[in-house]
Every structure is written in structure tokens, then in C-alpha cells.
Amino acid sequence: MNHEHTDFEHVEKHIAEILASTAPREERARAVAAEIHAAGNYRWVGIYDVTADAVSIVAYSGPGAPAYPTFARDRGLTGEVLRTGQTVVVGDVTSNAHYLTAFATTRSEMIVPVRADGEISGTIDVESERVDAFTHADRAALERVAQALAPLFSEARHKGPSTGP
């Protein structure tokens, strides 16, 4: 896979436009996932809701639906994000005991927390088929996107969680 990173500045502006639209929440989330997917040349991107009980897919962009559309908050790399409150980057998922295998070809994964109303209310999950695929620039850009996504998750907290795509 040719993994050239792009200037996320343009993408961040486009994501702001998507989020400002009046489209339904799931449609906006799908559009954001597609923007991230294309911008980073990533293999798969998912956007998840985090509730008191579970983590559930809102939207994704990539070759297929996740193997675990809903899972317990303490499972997988997302569980680590929720325990630490920090972005988790794993350069080789085959050597990480917390990794939940979603796609057999995933080698690297990054999960970025999205905070709304002072709590982690969602995540951005980015996967690659390459070992050590994510750079510091990827992380910084996706953390900025996560900040921009906060209103999408605040909106869900006040209306209730998504039922998924």
C-alpha cells in the first residue's frame, strides 16, 4: 500500500463543513470517516459511540463492517483508551494482547478519544495493513479531528446513542 500522508488542513476544513450541515448524525459521521479514510490513505476508519455500558459503531469507511459493532467498554484497545484517557497507537497489533481482531490483515491501529461535555463520548479508530503505519503527524491531525467531532457526540449524549449504520 502506498501510504503517503496528506496535509490534513484541507481535510479538517472539509470536516468542519460536514459537521455544520443539517444532515442526520450518522450521515455526517459516515462522511467524516470517508474524509479521514481518503486523507490518510488508511485501510479502515471507524467512528464509535461510547456509552456507560458499551462501545458501538456509528459509521465507518473501508472494506467492510467491523467484526465487533458493539462491545464492552473494557475490551480491546478502546478499553485502554477509556482507562487512560489518551490516544493509543499500536505499531504491530499482532504483539498486543488487548487487540480485538477485526480484520485479519490489520497490522497497525490508532484509537483517538473524542471528548464531549467533559467525558470520552466516542472514538476514532484508524487501521492500516502496514506495521508502524502511523506518524506523529497522523496522531496530531486525528486528535484535532477528534476535537472537531465533539459537537457530534454532545448531540448524541442529549438525544441518546446511535443504533449504528
Q: Is residue 3 part of a domain?
A: no
For residue range 10-68, list pLDDT tens digits in order: 788 888 899 999 999 999 999 999 999 988 878 999 999 999 999 999 999 999 999 89
pLDDT above 70: residue 163:
no
At 11, phi and psi to the nearest 5? -65, -45
Distances in Å between the Cα of 122 and the Cα atoms of 4, 54, 133 are 27, 11, 23
Cβ partners under 8 Å of residue 134, min gap 6: 89, 91, 108, 110, 126, 128
Name which of 94, 158, 90, 98 is nearest 127 in CA terms. Answer: 90
For residue range 103-115, list pLDDT tens digits in order: 788 999 999 999 9
Q: Is residue 155 part of a domain?
A: yes
Q: Is residue 101 part of a domain?
A: yes
> Concatenated DSSP letters for 55-75?
EEEEEEESSS--S-SEEETTS
Q: Is residue 165 part of a domain?
A: no
- Please report, for the domain that includes residue 26, its CATH number: 3.30.450.40
CA Rg value for the chain: 14
The mean of the pLDDT values for the chain is 88
- Model's pTM, two decimal places? 0.89
Domain boundaries, position 127: 8-159
Q: Is residue 164 part of a domain?
A: no
For residue range 70-84, list pLDDT tens digits in order: 999 999 999 999 999
Q: Is residue 1 part of a domain?
A: no
User: Structurally, how many domains does the chain consist of?
Assistant: 1
